[in-house]
Amino acid sequence: MYRPYKLGMIHFSDLSQKRLRDWLLHLANRTQVTKELGIGRNTLYRYLDKIKKETSSIEELFTLQQVQTLIKLENADWQKYLTQKADLAAKKAAKADLDHQEAQLTKTLHQYGWGEITDNLEFAQLIDLQQGSAEQKQQARAILQRWPAAKQKKYDKYQKQVQNHE
């Protein structure tokens, strides 16, 4: 005599059920879910509406294979998130390291007097601008106004030195 097996409903722990439900309602890519589960978009939205209203649970609406697919999709999203998070942390660490190196380099250059050389280069470029057309003179005035007072004093001193040598 033929006796088909009767499958009982799937049961999750409350925490797992809540996480899967929250992921499905808020974070899941709906087009990917419909494609992977093989259901229509309207069907998915009807299911989501029932889950939101808590009239049905995920176990009641989806088959065993569909629930497994949902779990795989959620895990793939989680792995993708962890990878992005690790990449972001690595980028932040690299940027912090570069910022530290730049500060060290600037300190060392100023210690050996190289900071003055870069300032002198900027000053020479500004003098060239001031000797150019009206538009370049306007640009030179704007640059000079942006500089702090100490740098403007250095520029005046540099300008006097250059004029004395000519």
Per-residue pLDDT tens digits for 36-63: 999 999 999 999 999 999 898 888 888 8
Average pLDDT, the chain: 82
21-30, 56-65, 97-106: least confidently modelled range: 97-106
Mean pLDDT of the 86-112 span: 79
Alpha-helical segments (H) within the chain: 14-22, 30-37, 41-52, 58-61, 64-111, 114-130, 134-146, 149-165
Structure tokens at 123: 């000053």
Q: Are 72 and 20 in contact (CB under 8 A)?
A: no
Residue 147, token pair as written in the block:
């500089």
Domain limits of the chain?
14-82, 108-165
Give the mean model confidence (pLDDT) for residues 20-34. Answer: 90
pLDDT (0 to 100) of residue 35 = 93
